[in-house]
Amino acid sequence: MKRPIFANEQIYHTYNRGVEKRNVFLDEEDYFRFVYNLFEFNDVNPATPSYYRSYEVAPRRKPRKPLVDILAFCLMQNHFHLLLMQKQESGISEFLRKLSGGYTMYFNQKYKRSGVLFQGRFKAILVERDAHFIHLPYYIHANPLDLAMPEWREGNLRDPKAAFAFLASYKWSSFPDYIGAKNVPSVTQRDLLLGIAGGEEKYKADFVAWLKNMRLDDISQIILE
């Protein structure tokens, strides 16, 4: 897939996974570190060198100037999804370079390994159609169902309410913050999507309705997996 030319104020679905599909998150500390990296590396200013070398979190520096708006995210054992709006020239490329490189340094130091961790350069696609923009965040937020209800991808989800409850308890996603359950609210910028959805309660209701009637064929061109 040819990578798009990134432009400011445009929205892109980005994705990457572990090399040879290996798991890149092995415990809760790993997930936490990557979520923290989403915040730490979303900045024109460089992270301190000590932050790259250590797997302790760094103290806050000068005021931040974000490279992107992180509209939604989800971390799975061997991959991640991000829905990003570019805010600075080359912001998406720079953010994902810092994110992948910084996390790889942390992971390699912690697990006494060397070499690349992610499968080449990230995938990305411009989100152009309104229908894609509306339904893609639902798809990103539904990914953890692979762990508990994998039949969801075939449209055979038997208990949408149980699926909703499972996703609401999944910490490594922006979904809890979209439904008003404070999780990591400082990482994402939710006003745009919630404004379109009509608020947190409407997002909840529309998400459950999507789970009941979901057809991944409608967004197959932009899910990147």
Domain residues for the domain of 104 are 11-124
Domain boundary among 72, 95, 124: 124
112 and 17 co-located in one domain = yes
| Pairing verdict, β 79-86 and 11-17 | antiparallel
In-domain check, residue 109: yes
pLDDT, position 48: 65
142 and 215 co-located in one domain = yes
Query: Does 57 or 41 have the greater pLDDT score?
Result: 41
How far apart, in Å, are the Cα atoms of 88 and each of 11, 42, 44, 47, 94?
Answer: 13, 11, 8, 17, 9
Instruction: Kindly state the tokens that stand for 78.
Output: 């061997």
Query: What value, to the nearest 5°, has the Cα angle with vertex 92 and ends 91 and 93?
Result: 95
* pTM, full prediction: 0.91
Instruction: Give the pLDDT confidence of 124-161 residue by residue, as tens digits.
Output: 999 988 777 888 999 999 999 999 999 999 888 989 99
Contacts of 69 (CB under 8 A, 6+ apart): 84, 85, 87, 189, 192
Query: What value, to the nearest 5°, has the Cα angle with vertex 135 and ends 131 and 141?
Result: 165
User: Is the distance from CB of 167 to CB of 142 less than 8 angstroms?
Assistant: yes
Measured CA to CA, the distance from residue 125 to residue 118 in angstroms comes to: 18
15 and 100 co-located in one domain = yes
Measured CA to CA, the distance from residue 94 to residue 84 in angstroms comes to: 12
Q: Where are the beta strands (DSSP E) in the chain?
A: 11-17, 68-75, 79-86, 123-126
pLDDT band at 54 (very low <50, low <70, confident <90, very high): very low
142 and 118 co-located in one domain = no
User: Is the distance from CB of 203 to CB of 177 less than 8 angstroms?
Assistant: no
Domain boundary among 65, 96, 124: 124
pLDDT, position 53: 46
Instruction: Give the pLDDT confidence of 80-116 residue by residue, as tens digits.
Output: 999 999 999 999 999 999 999 999 999 999 999 999 9
82 and 155 co-located in one domain = no
Measured CA to CA, the distance from residue 212 to residue 225 in angstroms comes to: 22
Measured CA to CA, the distance from residue 131 to residue 199 in angstroms comes to: 18
Measured CA to CA, the distance from residue 64 to residue 43 in angstroms comes to: 6
Measured CA to CA, the distance from residue 161 to residue 184 in angstroms comes to: 23
Measured CA to CA, the distance from residue 162 to residue 19 in angstroms comes to: 33
Burial of 32 (0-12, 13-18, 19+ CB in 10 A): middle
188 and 120 co-located in one domain = no
Contacts of 105 (CB under 8 A, 6+ apart): 52, 53
Q: How many domains does the chain have?
A: 2
In-domain check, residue 176: yes
Instruction: Kindly state the tokens that stand for 201.
Output: 């309660």
pLDDT band at 47 (very low <50, low <70, confident <90, very high): confident
Cα 157 to the center of its chain, rounded Å: 23
149 and 93 co-located in one domain = no
